[in-house]
Structure 1
Amino acid sequence: MGRSVIVGLDGTGNSVPAVRWGADEAAARGLPLRLLHSWVSQPLNVSIAQEAANKRRYGAEVLGAAEATALELHPGISVTTEQVSEPAVDALVERSGQATLVVLGSRGHGVIAGFLLGSVSLHVLGCAECPVVIVRQDMAASYGEREVVVGVQEAGAQGEAVLDFAFAAAATHHSRVRTVWAWEPAAVAGFVPTASATCQGEEECTAEQEKKLADILAPWRALFPGVDVIEHVQRGRVAPVLLGSCPQARLLVVGRRMRRTPMSLGPVAFAVLHHSVCPVAVVPHS
């Protein structure tokens, strides 16, 4: 199949922003766009007959409309369509191993259905081998030159894939990257970076955290010298700090561990997927 941007279509209006976002990304990266629809996973609220032939016909219409949208936005990109008879989860997870990105749409805030953290999105987010981007139906169609926001973890291999993806995305779109490092006092146990017990006072602890972040980012500054980097250090829990940092973002990037169950994305990924005002990329890492 080769590297591509895959957009999963569920046959509702939720897919339109995902198609537009995926087409933009394919054009910017010089990659083919692959539109995928499962006729056996069509939404229950679509009023069509249940016969397989009618479902396939409906799927072909969904794919045709999505292809027309993508080519209208970017006439020069390569677009292929695929209608599969296997469940959407299985098809998307299987193809993620050879894809650069998987893009899914969602219905917006507070709705647990379709591709918003419902069974399809949740399983794909938890099992895909490549980054998965969630684009809500109520998000703006264009994000211009806005920044890429990324949550930075402690130094180590687990954060490398997340930073690689964020910096590459910023370089592709000629955007700056805002690296967000949240910290709490040493007495507070949790999953966020904490200040050491040796620093005294918030000012000293903040300076310590700024030094940690600068050290972690040094290799990526060297690899992407053309990317403008904002180092954002703030006391607080990760999810609220990230969400407060992305009102002007074109993309928010977080990580999740490989080989976790689909129901265990982690509290940070879960929170930003529900509440982010911009598309969210969930990047698997070891």
Structure 2
Amino acid sequence: MNHPVVVGVDGSRAGMTAAWWAAREAAVRRLPLLLFHSWTTQPLNVPIAQQAHNKQRYGHEVLQRAEAELLHRYGDLSLTTKLVSDPAAQALVDLSKDTALLVLGSRGHGSLASFLLGSISLHVLGLAQCPTVTVRAGDPAAEAGWGHAAVPDGGEIVVGVQEPGPAADPLLEFAFTSAQLHGARVHAVHALPVSAVVHQHAMAAGLTFGRYEAEERIRLTATLAPWREKFPDVPVAEMVTTGPAGQVLLSAATHGQLVVVGRRGHPSRLTWKLGPVAHAALHHAPCPVAVIPHA
């Protein structure tokens, strides 16, 4: 059984933009799409009375509207809806166990305002067991359903490789698969710490700075090698440079189609933490951002 692409909708433009992006991704990946709404966790500006039956009715209407719009464009898409009473954050985390891809909406640049509340998106991004993508309202690549022309496939999938080696494999698998599906190239970015720290690392390893940098390039190339072999038709660009990892990644993502970053798994379902690179991408990247859990 194919696990679905799941997207949260709440009637806002941000949620619907995410739904359009998710529908296109589900169609390309040939996966079913599940539209999700929590009627107990609705936006504060929902123009309805607070009685439970009105909230449920609003949730049904949101799902029906979104379903009709998506099926109008993707008529052969396998689409189902799910209205729940559980808090949105926990329900989405629970769904992530059997989900291929989870998609969340974000209201705009400068803050991670989710399709519901910023804290909900952060909670889900920090604990989801599957790749999770945030899509901003206004993203031209996703807003075909809002009267914008769809952006054609192509461009770059920018992936931040913080630590070359096996830990990067889940990120690279997602990046290469996405690139193949969309006719894009993979741009793998590895940032070395700022100069003073690099020199300390190099000296501790008995290397000159130049040799240390060369060794890191070799490590990145070796990490990418099996993925190049598995996806021979996907063009690949590599970049190793010195600087703050978040800034380096954002600079590379200026014209990216998707940014892919990692997030370490956590032993507890009650605690989560996103690193500074993931935060930088989620707050400032000009395109959708995929957060991939890894060991």
How far apart, CA to CA, are the structure 2 residues paired with 1:247 and 1:117? Answer: 27
C-alpha displacement at 1:206, in angstroms? 4.0
Amino acid at match of 2:170: A
Contact 2:123/2:272 (<8 A) preserved: yes
Change (3 A) 1:219 1:121: same
Contact 2:10/2:116 (<8 A) preserved: no
| Pairing partner for 2:202 from 196, 201, 224 | 196
Q: Does 1:219 align with 2:229?
A: no
C-alpha displacement at 1:39, in angstroms? 0.4
Structure 2: gaps (5+ residues): 143-149
Moved more, 151-160 or 102-111: 151-160
SS of alignment partner, residue 40 of structure 1: coil
TM-score (norm 2): 0.89
Moved more, 32-41 or 254-263: 254-263
| Pairing partner for 2:278 from 264, 269, 275 | 269
Aligned to 1:55: 55
| Pairing partner for 1:242 from 249, 254, 271 | 249
Contact 1:99/1:130 (<8 A) preserved: yes
Contact 1:195/1:208 (<8 A) preserved: no
SS of alignment partner, residue 129 of structure 1: coil
C-alpha displacement at 1:115, in angstroms? 3.4
SS of alignment partner, residue 7 of structure 2: strand
Aligned to 1:34: 34
- Within a 5 Å distance, the mapping from 1:125-164 to structure 2 comes to 125-140=125-140, 141=142, 142-144=150-152, 145-164=154-173
Aligned to 1:81: 81
Aligned to 2:146: none
C-alpha displacement at 1:235, in angstroms? 1.6
Aligned to 2:288: 279
| Pairing partner for 1:183 from 179, 192, 217 | 192
How far apart, CA to CA, are the structure 1 residues paired with 2:50 and 2:15? Answer: 21
SS of alignment partner, residue 202 of structure 2: coil
C-alpha displacement at 1:70, in angstroms? 1.6
Aligned to 1:174: 183
C-alpha displacement at 1:263, in angstroms? 5.1
Moved more, 204-213 or 167-176: 204-213
| Pairing partner for 2:239 from 220, 232, 244 | 232
How far apart, CA to CA, are the structure 2 residues paired with 1:201 and 1:210? Answer: 13
Change (3 A) 1:112 1:225: closer
SS of alignment partner, residue 176 of structure 2: helix
Amino acid at match of 1:169: S
Change (3 A) 1:117 1:225: farther
Change (3 A) 1:83 1:120: same
Moved more, 67-76 or 54-63: 67-76
C-alpha displacement at 1:74, in angstroms? 1.7
How far apart, CA to CA, are the structure 1 residues paired with 2:285 and 2:31? Answer: 27
Identical positions, percent: 50
Alpha-carbon displacement from aligned partner over 1:33-86 (angstroms, at most 9, x marks no partner): 100000001111111111111111111111112112222332211111111111
Aligned to 1:257: 264
Amino acid at match of 1:131: P
TM-score (norm 1): 0.91
